[in-house]
Amino acid sequence: MRRKPSIGEYLAFLSIKYEVNPEKFLLALHSAKEHKKARCDKLLVQYRGKIRNKSIFLIKRESEIIAQFPIDEEFLLNRNNKLRNFTKSDRIRKFLVKKARTATANSINELRTGMNHVNLKAKILEVTKPKRVVTRYGNHAALAKALIADETGTINICLWNGQIGSVSAGDIIQVENAQVSVFRGEKHMTLGRKGTLSNAAIFKQ
C-alpha cells in the first residue's frame, strides 16, 4: 500500500510543482491564517476556516483552483518546521526527473540528457557518409549523423534510412518530438518512432 505523504511533504511538493520558494510558501500560509489571504508569487493562499484542530486552506493560481487541504494546528504552530526539509522525498524526486525529461527546449544550449518531445529549428552544417549498421532489433539500416546548429550551439542528430537523403548541408530543418541521449560520452538527438524532421523555410541568422 502506498504511504500517504505527510503534510510537510505535500506542501513541499506543491511549492516545487508551482515553482515558489518553499519557505515563502509556508510563510504565506501563516499570513493567510492571520489575514484571510496572502500571495506567494503567482499563487493566492486563502484561509477557509477551521474544522476541529485543522485549518483549511485554498490555493489558487489566477482563477484556477489548484489545491484545498487541511493542516493540523500543531504543524502550523511549530515554527521550526522548514519545507526544505521535505523536498528530498521520492515523490518530489520522481516529479523533478519527469519534469526534466519533458521540459521544452527552444534552443540547442537548453538541451539536457533524457529530454523527450524536443522541438527546435536548426541549420545543417554537415552530414556524414551513411554506413550500414545492425539495429538492436537485428535489422540492417543506414545511419548518418547530421551536425546541426542554431544561434546557441551545435549538436549531432542521427538520421536513419530515408531521412538521410531528405536533407543536406545548408538546409534549415524543423525537428519535432525528438529525444536527447548520450552515446560514448557524446550528447546527441534521436527521432525515434514518433519524431519527425522537415525542411523549414525560415531561419534566424
Q: What is the pLDDT of residue 103?
A: 59
Q: What is the mean pLDDT of residues 8-32?
A: 91
- Which bin fits 183, alpha (ψ -120 to 50), beta or left (φ > 0)? beta
- Mean per-residue pLDDT over the chain, rounded: 86
Q: Where in the chain is CATH 2.40.50.140?
A: 105-199
User: What is the rounded distance in angstroms from the CA atom of residue 202 to the CA atom of residue 71?
Assistant: 54
**Closest Cα partner for 18 from 50, 64, 54?**
64
Among 11-20, 68-77, 108-117, 124-133, the range scoring the smallest mean pLDDT is 108-117
Residue 113 has pLDDT above 90, yes or no: no
Residue 204 has pLDDT above 70, yes or no: no
Q: Quote the distance between the C-alpha of residue 191 and its chain's center.
A: 19
Q: What is the pLDDT of residue 17?
A: 87
| 137 neighbors 160 (Cβ within 8 angstroms) | no
Residue 205 has pLDDT above 60, yes or no: no
Instruction: Tell whether domain 105-199 is in CATH 1.10.340.30.
Output: no
Q: What is the pLDDT of residue 102?
A: 62
Q: What is the pLDDT of residue 91?
A: 84
| 28 neighbors 40 (Cβ within 8 angstroms) | yes
Residue 98 has pLDDT above 80, yes or no: no
Q: What is the mean pLDDT of residues 80-104?
A: 78
pLDDT-derived band at 133 (thresholds 50, 70, 90) equals confident
Q: What is the pLDDT of residue 129?
A: 92
